[in-house]
Amino acid sequence: MYIFGIYFSIVDLLMVFSGFVVLLILYLAYEINKLKKLEVKLAIIESRMEEEEKELVKKLSGPRKTKKAVKKKRRR
């Protein structure tokens, strides 16, 4: 088979195609590894946000009242 004036056999074309497939697999493995790292970073950020949210809820709700304080308030 001639392509641009150069003779290529079927074996040569298969080798070139398999080379592209290998490069594609390596690229996909690299992207998956990158996504895993981003996922870990996202999980860390989410845990920090949850901790901050809990702290803010505690600050906004104020101190918890004891049973005695609740009873005194009811008596009034």
Question: Whole domain around residue 44: which residue ranges?
Answer: 2-61
pLDDT digits (tens, 9 = 90+) for 2-32: 777 777 788 888 899 999 999 999 999 999 9
In a domain, 51, yes or no: yes
pTM: 0.55
In a domain, 73, yes or no: no
Structural domain count of the chain = 1
In a domain, 31, yes or no: yes
Is residue 1 a contact partner of residue 10, using CB atoms and an 8 Å limit? yes
In the block, tokens 């690229």 appear at 27
Q: Which residue has the higher pLDDT, 2 or 38?
A: 38
| Radius of gyration (C-alpha) of the chain in whole angstroms | 32
